[in-house]
Structure formats: structure tokens, C-alpha cells
Amino acid sequence: MLLLQKIGGALLEPPGIFLLGFLILLLEPRRVKKYGFPVLLALMYLFSTGLGARLLYPYFDFPYQPVTTQPEAIVILGGGTLFDQKTGTQTLHPVSAMRLLQGYFLFQKEHLPCVVSGGTLWGKEPRGEGELMQEMLLGLGVPAEKIIVENRARTTWENAQFVVPLLKERGITTFYLVSSQTHLRRAVFAFTRFYPESQIIPVPAHPVFDRKPLTLEDFLPSLEALSVSSAFFHEWWGLLFYRLMKPPKRHTGPLP
């Protein structure tokens, strides 16, 4: 299932979706190609520019329900690791590091327990992401007793699936949820599915894109703008997939 998700995601978000569109057009009649290729090129240009990235802002700026109770924990979601096969070293991906630092800043203010979540994507990495996040927090001076590690999750759905029992067994119902701004809509949805009675305070670790006034540079293609478009498609398709998944069974007995 995970492999199918990765393949589907690669084909349904830029640049894969543009390549897929190009291959489809090659099989179409000439009259379809006549209009199809210019449209495809226009879309490639638009979603590779700052102008296109700005058009996607409203999706990432969705409203959250106000929280009426005091938060009791900080949940920080991993964003991947980097493994150097030559040297054997494994480090947090920069996205993970930014999320972790945002969680650490919250900890400095409120001294709440930190739940770090992330496993090994394909099971070949020597250490789980949660373990690396724990190590970094310890290095920053967070006491070991304030860190709760979830070391199995490979997807956002599994983040929620494995973290929610840890929260429930500690009686935590209100918590900060720290992740990238692009990822928060899907993350909140997943956690709400597994823990509908909880109150979630989403905390973006970093903005989607530079929000300075529109400039000439925003009309030029850039890798940064394309990555925003890719994130939009990734999150949109991911959220649609989660909406089609069966809701998790509610556990009514004692926790294991």
C-alpha cells in the first residue's frame, strides 16, 4: 500500500503530473495535441512561478477551530531523514529539523511534554526518525522525562494512528500539533479522525512561500515555486485519499 501511495503521488504532483500529461497527449489525435500541448505548457509555466504559488495560498490558510482549554503536550511530526550510505551517517531532513525547532521553541515557553513521531520509511534506515528527533531535543537541553518517542510511523495517517494512544493513556486531550504549513491541513484531519474528541492547536513550522509584494521575479520559473505547487498537489491528493479511507474503529475498552 505504501509503495502504491508513493508511485501514485509521484505521478499526480509536479513534475510527474506534467510528464504524465505529456505522455497522454502523445497518444491523442492531432487536433487534441494542437490545443493540449499549449495548455500543458501554460500550466507548467504557471505552477513554476511565484504567481502560481500565490494562487495556492488560500488552500494552506484554512481556518482552525478555536481551542478553549490549556494545551497539555506538543506533538511534533517528522518530515524525513537523510542517510549517507558511504559514511553511514543519518541525520534529520531540514524539514524535520525546522519542525523540531518550532516544537522546541514552544517547549521553552510552556515546558510541556514533547511527543516526537516518525519511523523508518522502508525499514532500511539504521535508526527511526523519532529516535533522531529525541537525540536532538536532548542535545538542546530538553529533559529525557519530557520526551515521548513514537518510532514506527511512515505516513501522516500512521503518525496519528500511533501517537493518539500515547496521548490517551496520559489523559491528554488538548495539544499543539507542529508540522510544515503545507502539511497541517492533512495532519489535523488525520488526528481528528483518530481522536475526534481532542482539541488540536496547529502550529506551522515554516511558511509556504515568501509573502513579499509581487515582483517581476514572481513571473520567472523557479524551483522554489515549483516545490510549492508540488506540495499543494501532494497534500490535496493525500487529503482526498484519507477522506476515502474507512474511519478507524473506536476503542471503547481499556487501553493496551
Statement to judge: residues 226 and 120 lie in one domain: no
Q: Where are the beta strands (DSSP E) in the chain?
A: 73-77, 81-84, 89-92, 114-117, 147-150, 174-179, 199-204
Question: Where residue 95 sits, what CATH number does that domain have?
Answer: 3.40.50.620
Task: Indicate the residue type of 62.
Answer: F
pTM score, whole prediction: 0.88
Counted domains in the chain: 2
Q: Look at residue 217 and tell me if it is in a domain.
A: no
Domain interval for residue 43: 2-59+222-236
The reply to whether 45 falls in a domain is yes
Q: Do 122 and 72 sit in the same domain of this protein? A: yes
**pLDDT for res 250:** 61
Per-residue pLDDT of the chain (256 residues; tens, 9 = 90+): 677 777 877 888 888 999 999 989 988 888 888 889 999 999 999 999 999 988 888 887 767 777 788 999 999 999 999 988 778 889 999 999 999 999 999 999 999 999 999 998 877 778 899 999 999 999 999 999 999 999 999 999 999 999 999 999 999 999 999 999 999 999 999 999 999 999 999 999 988 777 778 888 999 999 989 998 998 989 989 999 899 887 777 654 444 4
**Residue 144 has what DSSP assignment?**
G
